[in-house]
Structure 1
Amino acid sequence: MINKTKLAIPISVIIVSVCLVWFGSEKSFAALVPGALIRIPQNENAIIVEKKSQMLYVYSAKKGLGSPTFQAPCSTGANPGPKTRSGDKRTPEGVYFLKDEFEDRYLTPVYGEKAFTSDYPNFFDLRLGKQGSAIWIHGTDKILKPMDSNGCVALENKNIIALSDYIHLDATPLIIVDQINYAPTDTLIRTQKKINEFLKQWAKALAGQSYHTYLSFYDSTYLPDISWWEAWLGMRDKVGAQHPEGFDVVLENTGIYTQGGIVVVLCDMSLSLDDSNKIYLGKRQFFIRQGTAAPLIVGDFFQTKDNAFNSGETPLLAASRMLFPDESTDKLVVETVQQWMAAWSSKNMDKYARFYTNDFICDGMGKTAWVKRKKQLAQKYDYILVTGKNFKAFPTKDGYTVSFVQYYKSSGYSTHGKKQLKLVRQDGEWKIFRENWKGK
């Protein structure tokens, strides 16, 4: 069976080969490429799994899309058709991204020597009500047979090892189709230009146009999260007063893929004030519906965020404060710290607790344990007085850091030293995310 699978050739490839013989030109062969690959970023690859032929192909931006860089027989779900629910033994069809990698020492024999997890069900799958999980590309210690998996894509061990050289987590697309459709390169170039221009105008609307203009890029069936818009508009106005050019939202390293009538875009997103002030936010993913009319976004989100933006606040706002520090915000953050000290000094521990984020951690304790310990101290001492001086606030990628000299005095203990608090914006307020203390 494996030998037959290796010889399985998509009918589209046969047609292209006939064209090559008929016209006697390599140029004619290169004119048709996989239609799913509208654009692969430089130094990136794309994986296509064709269920009908039980073959996996890798295409490379460097080599071009005329022929695959790597190919191998694979095994997909035992039942035909796209996956819709858990346990249906079908392999999904769509554009996915690989999230994690596991070596054989962490795997049971059914997964062979290496495995990569995918993001099925993705945003669009969930909108369609599709269910199930744990769709991987993996090796196998068994003899590879066509359509023999529970829904994953299985390869011989030697081929999953070879495939790993082409995979970049959270960047390399995994495109699963029933049969590869080929298209002329000029058709894909026109689509690429159309999508690039659409995203360029979206970025302009986000950077400097109205709320209504921004929303006009979205399909009526999908309303993006715009809870941050008022704060973003305020920041834009402040920047515009001193820098008429304002911010630029920059989209780079754009990959554009399509399957089933939906265009999936993955790109690097940054916020820029000028050529020397640019902050990387993370990888942005778009799901775009296109037809005879203009494209419209039916889903978008940060697939990954830069490590500095994992506190919960939208990266756009956090980065804008870094690029354009606001003295009034500096003052507000310091006042928040002073109010925190006042609540501590008054032993109002319920108010004290509200100054912390729910995911606060210090000295190995979460918020609940931290506040419990402080309440015990408040009950133990007759009085507590916490003061500070030399407050300095400076913006970070995901919030603010306030450093100062803290003086602590109670009926049973007193000390002073350097205090540093990391604050982030949550629920419209500045809250303490981390603490650092160095006593003298």
Structure 2
Amino acid sequence: MISKTKPTLPMGIMILSVWLLWICPGAALGASVPGALIRIPENENVIIVEKKSQMLYVYSEKTGLESPVFQCPCSTGANPGPKTQAGDKRTPEGVYFLKGEFEDRYLTPVYGEKAFTSDYPNFLDLRLGKQGSSIWIHGTDKALKPMDSNGCVALENKNIIALSDYIHLDATPLIIVEQIEYTSIDKLTQSREKIARFLEQWSRALTSQSYHAYLSYYDSSYLPDMSWWETWLSLRGKALVKHPEGYDIVLENTGVYAQGGVTVVLCDMSLSPKNGNKIYLGKRQFFIGQKGGSSLIQGELFQTKAKAFDTGEPPLIAASRMLFQDQSADKQVVQTVQEWMAAWSSKNMDKYAQFYTGDFVCDGMGKTAWVKRKKKLARKYEYILVTGKNFKALPTEDGYVVSFVQYYESSGFSTHGKKKLKLVKRDGEWKIFRENWKGK
């Protein structure tokens, strides 16, 4: 006789099943990994906050994606749903990056022993009109309760301290979801390969294809700033003259994370001649959506730029100038700066004045007022000595920016700090057009 009674599992298997659900919730669905984790860079970690369970998980590239390397309870906003405006006591949902770290001595007690700031609202949040700010992960000075914050992600103090070991500022993503969706390794691999092909095609369009071909990789709802394209087109042709073997846009340390129908990419971006040293541009973010089965960029930005590219030009333009710049011009502008310091040190103020353009402006003073003030100081002090070190000459569209550490000493005053001089060519000679000083 066949029994119609529903079979029961042995107690040991039931306990094991419950444990698997706790340590790896996706196991119940026949899936093994969070679908958000398309690609984690080498030696990087990802934080996922699941609002439904009020749990925080950390996944690591080193140990694989089958189970978290750290997990703990958390508390999110008192009100359900994604954040849309300031004061709504909701926690946002999306892919964010942690930007700053604060120890307890800089925090009020409500933030516990440590806090990390996020970049909410990010590019897409701003496009959607979302408001609010100051979304942090932090500790707490009170007992942790579910859904008890004003919108931040709160942890017990011992857990925020433990979590800090997994965080790299400007690189570790914070993914906040209502509920984690799990998928198979095979599907995750397919997504990873699709995004990799897309980024490779995008970079090829940037280095060798037309304006319209490049724009075909962008969603029609997002019009990127293309004011730099004509300059880039001219420069990339000149760069090929000096580097006929070609050059590439190189994307490295690439992290790819999915949430809410959008894929967020964070990578290190460089301009690299095929036979030469690559020029690091900075950390680049892409927001990629899907339309008709095709990937399209819905937003992009340099999350952080290389320090060398702070002249106001797009990093790609500044870097491309470096590919073909005349090294002798570098030496000329640095030599001009050194001769300018020598004139200043010798108190030859007439010669000193000749290093400036007629339309020079600094601190609200034109050339005449500026030189008059310097002459007054030269008469006041018995001696003046101006020296510099670590000279760097960066080409710009109309000249050079020379940055260096300047040391100033006189009979009545001494200081040192960072100096920047903008030089342009006038009547065949390099002249100082703008000046910037930041003392230490």
**Residues 177-326 of structure 1 aligned to structure 2 (within 5 Å):** 177-326=177-326
Shift of 1:317: 1.6
Q: In structure 2, what is the Cα distance between the partners aligned to 1:104 and 1:369? A: 45
What is the aligned residue count?
373
The answer on 1:423 being equivalent to 2:419 is no
The answer to whether residue 74 in structure 2 is matched with residue 63 in structure 1 is no
Q: Which residue of 2 aligns with 1:374?
A: 370
The farther-off stretch of 230-239 and 127-136 is: 230-239
- 1:212 shift after superposition: 1.2
The 1:285–1:167 alpha-carbon spacing in structure 2 relative to 1, beyond 3 Å, is: same
Per-residue Cα deviation, 1:309-349 (whole angstroms, up to 9, x for no partner): 22321111212222321479769979x999xx999669996
What SS does the corresponding residue of 2:189 show, helix, strand or coil? helix
Comparing 121-130 with 246-255, greater Cα deviation is found at: 246-255
* Structure-1 residue corresponding to 2:14: none
Q: CA separation in 1, counterparts of 2:194 and 2:310?
A: 33
Determine if contact 1:82/1:92 at 8 Å carries over to the other structure. Answer: yes
Structure 1 Cα separation of the partners of residues 298 and 332 of structure 2:
38
Residues 266, 283 of structure 1: 8 Å contact kept: yes
**Aligned residue in 2 for 1:36:** 36
Aligned to 2:386: none
1:28-75 residue CA offsets vs partner (Å, 9 max, x unmatched): xxx521011111111000000000000000000110000000000000
Map 1:93-242; keep pairs closer than 5 Å.
93-242=93-242
Q: Report the CA distance shift for 1:89/1:402 in structure 2 as closer, same or farther (over 3 A).
A: closer
Unaligned stretches of 5+ residues in structure 2: 1-17, 340-349, 378-390, 404-418, 425-431
- Judged with a 3 Å threshold, the aligned counterparts in structure 2 of structure 1 residues 120 and 372 are, in CA distance, closer, same or farther, namely farther
- The residue number in structure 1 matching 2:46 is 46
Normalized against structure 2, the TM-score is what? Answer: 0.76
CA spacing shift, 1:142–1:276, aligned 2, 3 Å: same
The Cα of 1:164 is off from its aligned counterpart by: 0.2
Match of 1:396 in 2: 394
1:148/1:233 CA distance change after superposition, 3 Å? same
Q: CA deviation at 1:292?
A: 4.0
Name the stretch that deviates more: 162-171 or 207-216: 207-216
Identity across the alignment (%): 64
Query: CA 1:16 to 1:291, structure 2 compared with 1: closer, same or farther past 3 Å?
Result: farther
**Match for residue 434 of structure 2?**
432
CA distance in 1, matches of 2:300, 2:58: 26
**CA deviation profile, 1:359-416 (whole Å, cap 9, x unmatched):** xxxxxxxx336879517549989xxxxxxxxxxx98438783569xxxxxxxxxxxxx
CA contact (8 A) 1:321 1:395 kept: no
Relative to structure 1, the CA distance from residue 326 to residue 51 in structure 2 (aligned partners, 3 Å threshold; closer, same or farther) is same
Helix, strand or coil for the counterpart of 2:364?
helix
Task: Please report how far the alpha carbon of residue 245 of structure 1 lies from its aligned counterpart in structure 2 after TM superposition.
Answer: 3.0
The answer to whether structure 1 residue 352 and structure 2 residue 376 are counterparts is no
Q: 1:157 to 1:316 in 2, by over 3 A?
A: same
The SS at the match of 1:232 is helix
Is the 2:360–2:366 contact (alpha carbons within 8 Å) kept by the matching residues of 1?
no
Q: Counterpart amino acid of 2:360?
A: Y
Is the 1:83–1:89 Cα contact (8 Å) retained in structure 2? yes
- Contact kept in structure 1, 2:333 and 2:393, CA below 8 Å: no
229-238 or 135-144: which moved more? 229-238
In the alignment, is the contact (CA less than 8 A) between 2:36 and 2:257 conserved in 1? yes
Separation in 1, partners of 2:136, 2:437: 40
Listed as ranges, the gaps of 5+ residues in structure 1 are: 1-6, 20-30, 357-366, 382-392, 404-419
Question: Which residue of 2 is the match for residue 362 of structure 1?
Answer: none
Secondary structure, in 3 states, of the residue corresponding to 2:294?
coil
**1:285/1:303 contact within 8 Å kept:** yes
1:352 partner amino acid: F
Deviates more, 1:263-272 or 1:288-297: 288-297
Deviations 1:256-303 (A, max 9, x none): 001110100000000111343111111000000124421000100100
- CA pair 222-93 structure 1, distance change in 2 beyond 3 A: same
Preserved CA contact (<8 Å) 2:33 2:182: yes
Give distance in 1, aligned partners of 2:101 and 2:368: 40
Please give the alpha-carbon distance, in whole angstroms, between the structure 1 residues aligned to 2:401 and 2:178.
52
Give the secondary-structure state (helix, strand or coil) at the position aligned to 1:241: helix
Opposite residue 190 of structure 1, the aligned amino acid is Q
Specify the SS of the correspondent of 2:120. coil
Residue 388 (structure 2) aligns with: none
* Residues 23, 67 of structure 2: 8 Å contact kept: no
- CA separation in 2, counterparts of 1:11 and 1:180? 13
Change (3 A) 1:80 1:402: closer
Do the aligned partners of residues 432 and 70 (structure 1) sit closer, same or farther apart at CA in structure 2, a change above 3 Å counting?
same
Partner of 1:16 in structure 2? 27
- CA shift, 1:130, in A, is 0.2
Structure-2 change in CA distance of 1:332 and 1:226 (3 Å): farther
User: Residues 18 and 89 from structure 1, CA distance in 2 versus in 1: closer, same or farther, beyond 3 angstroms?
Assistant: closer
SS across alignment from 2:239: helix
Contact persistence 1:10–1:179 (CA under 8 A): no
Query: Quick one: which amino acid aligns to residue 434 of structure 2?
Result: I
Q: Which amino acid aligns with 2:370?
A: K
- TM-score, normalized by length of structure 1? 0.76
Superposition RMSD on alpha carbons, in Å? 3.6
Q: Distance in 2 between matches of 1:14 and 1:343?
A: 72
